[in-house]
């Protein structure tokens, strides 16, 4: 959707930065060649509900993978991201079959927010179901690692909103660490370090299991 997407990818790639982005694949047709030549490292086809991984979207993803393979490129790696949420628990098999048909490299399951203590307790059964479905479909999957505090999502990423506001993660748009458009980056990182010291008592982060 962003008119300068290819330019942004090239800019970062030329400076030896790993670049990936997430899309629902609906706008891929006509842009595949540019993306394949941009230096992109990974592309994730992501849906909040597995049921939204429609045949049309699967076909768009499959066309992207075929074109990459025709060019004999190893990159970008292709993923399907599926959020672990109650709405998805009954459609895991269908989602994996569509992902397999699309030819993506791996299906990545992610915890949804909020991931409560109750859901955390039921994880072994849910993960077992996913592994079983993966064996049936011969689809490679990755499952989320155990939650830790301070959470790795906050340690390894910064979430930048459309207006330049920087927040601890995509779930904490309510907590502003600074603005990338008018504040220096080292200062924003210092604010993040200070925030990390309070995470264990923060009303949201202390209960988060994502």
- pLDDT for residue 10: 97
Q: How far apart are CA 95 and CA 158, in angstroms?
A: 29
Helix (H, G, I), strand (E, B) or coil at 141: strand
- pLDDT for residue 39: 97
Nearest residue to 75 (alpha-carbon basis) of 31, 43, 110: 43
- pLDDT for residue 200: 87
Q: How far apart are CA 133 and CA 137, in angstroms?
A: 6
Q: How far apart are CA 164 and CA 143, in angstroms?
A: 31
- pLDDT for residue 117: 80
Q: How far apart are CA 75 and CA 42, in angstroms?
A: 7
pLDDT grade, residue 16 (50/70/90)? very high
Q: How far apart are CA 67 and CA 71, in angstroms?
A: 6
- pLDDT for residue 138: 93
Residue 32 scores a pLDDT above 90: yes
Convert the pLDDT of each residue in 69-115 to its tens digit.
Answer: 999 999 999 998 888 888 888 888 888 888 898 999 999 998 888 88
- The pTM score is 0.81
Residue 157 scores a pLDDT above 80: no
Residue 165 scores a pLDDT above 80: yes
Higher-pLDDT residue of 152, 135: 135
Residue 57 scores a pLDDT above 90: no
């Amino acid at each position: 959707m962003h008119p300068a997407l290819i330019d942004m990818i090239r800019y970062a790639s030329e400076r030896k930065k790993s670049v990936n982005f997430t899309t629902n694949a609906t706008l891929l047709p006509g842009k595949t060649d540019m993306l394949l030549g941009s230096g992109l490292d990974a592309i994730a086809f992501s849906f909040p509900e597995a049921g939204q991984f429609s045949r049309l979207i699967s076909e768009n993803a499959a066309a992207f993978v075929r074109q990459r393979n025709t060019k004999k490129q190893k990159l970008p790696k292709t993923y399907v991201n599926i959020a672990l949420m109650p709405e998805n628990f009954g459609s895991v098999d269908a989602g994996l079959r569509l992902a397999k048909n699309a030819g993506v490299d791996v299906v990545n399951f992610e915890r949804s927010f909020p991931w409560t203590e109750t859901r955390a307790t039921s994880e072994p059964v849910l993960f077992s179901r996913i592994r079983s479905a993966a064996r049936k479909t011969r689809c490679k999957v990755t499952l989320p690692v155990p939650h830790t505090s301070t959470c790795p999502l906050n340690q390894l990423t910064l979430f930048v909103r459309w207006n330049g506001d920087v927040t601890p993660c995509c779930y904490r748009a309510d907590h502003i660490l600074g603005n990338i458009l008018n504040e220096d980056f080292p200062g924003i990182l210092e604010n993040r370090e200070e925030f990390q010291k309070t995470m264990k008592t923060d009303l949201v982060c202390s209960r988060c299991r994502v």
